[in-house]
Amino acid sequence: MTIKPILTVKNISAVFPDDNGGLLALDDISFEVRPQEFICFLGPSGSGKTTLLRILAGLLPPTTGQVNFIRNQHPEIGMVFQQSNLMPWRSVMDNIKLPLELEGMGDAKARIKTREMIDLVGLNGFENSWPRELSGGMAQRVAIARALIHDPDLLLLDEPFASLDALTRERMWTELSRIWQARQKTVIMVTHSINESLFLADRVLVLTQRPGKIKLDVEVDLPRPRKDDIRYTPHFGKLARKLRETIE
């Protein structure tokens, strides 16, 4: 590849202290991410997926190894968690606006940007709703909007649809795919769903059971935009099978 990577991860490992010498959660992980690439980490639970994402977000220092961001050492991060993680005392509008407030953007300008984002995630009419009034899918849309509002360099998604029911989850894939194409962000997502990773990602990296190691790195050469029925094509099936066999 001739395109320069936006993010380089070199030999990172993570050890959590415990009674017998520490628990190795991640073991010698190295990879590169190209600008505007959508990559997916696929792995069973206990493969250190969330730990990896927390390291990339700067929430946790790696025990060894380096995370290098090309443009600057501190990239702007947008993160979506397993739970929507909204502030219950803020309306939908104010939840999405939060990162702009923290940046110190003027309220009038921030509101205009927030409205655009509400538009993008399809939450018109819910600006003034409280989080507890939203369904799981809607709450997760708010979380996605909040992660995108400050135009981050890197979008990190930690099993963002794990808490949703199957039908809503599949609808959210299409939504996320559309939003990603509109915004052209570099995305790193972790999941344990093979379908989810193939439907969304340009590249899937498979992590092994603890300690997490990269076992496979596959390009997903399915055409975009991907529609729902792409999951029933032979090529999708072939890729899914390959991933399934790697996971064990």
Partner 1 sequence: MTKIFNRIPWLGLFSLMAGLLAWELTARLSGLPRFILPAPGDVWRSFIKALTTGTLLYHTAITLTEIVLGMLAGVTFATVVGYSLAKSRTLEKVLAPYLVASQAIPIVAIAPLLVIWLGDGILSKVIICALIVFFPVLVNTIVGVRAVPTALYDLMNSVRATRWQILFKLELPASLPILLGGLRVGATLSVIGAIVGELVDAQEGLGYLLQLGDFQYDTSMVYVAVFVLIFLALGLYGIVTLLEKRFLKWQTVSSSR
Residues that bind partner 1 (CB under 8 A): 54, 57-59, 74, 76-79, 81, 83, 85, 87-91, 98-99, 101-102, 130-133, 150, 156
Query: Rounded to whole angstroms, what are the CA distances from 235 to 53, 133, 152, 207, 239?
Result: 29, 41, 33, 22, 6
| Cβ at position 78, least distance to partner 1 in Å | 8
| Cβ at position 133, least distance to partner 1 in Å | 7
User: CA-CA distance, 170 to 128, in Å (whole number)?
Assistant: 27
User: CA-CA distance, 26 to 214, in Å (whole number)?
Assistant: 9
Strand 77-80 relative to strand 154-158: parallel, antiparallel, unpaired?
A: parallel
Structure tokens at 103: 């940046």
Cβ proximity of 117 and 149 under 8 Å: yes
User: CA-CA distance, 32 to 120, in Å (whole number)?
Assistant: 29
Q: 104 or 234: whose CB is closer to partner 1?
A: 104
| Cβ at position 70, least distance to partner 1 in Å | 19
Helices (H), strands (E): how many in the chain? 7, 9
| Cβ at position 184, least distance to partner 1 in Å | 20
Q: 23 or 57: whose CB is closer to partner 1?
A: 57
| Cβ at position 141, least distance to partner 1 in Å | 16
Q: 151 or 165: whose CB is closer to partner 1?
A: 151
Residue 187's H or E segment, with its range, is strand 186-191
Q: 21 or 88: whose CB is closer to partner 1?
A: 88
Q: 151 or 217: whose CB is closer to partner 1?
A: 151
Count of CB atoms situated within 10 Å of the CB of 61:
10
| Cβ at position 190, least distance to partner 1 in Å | 15
Q: 90 or 111: whose CB is closer to partner 1?
A: 90
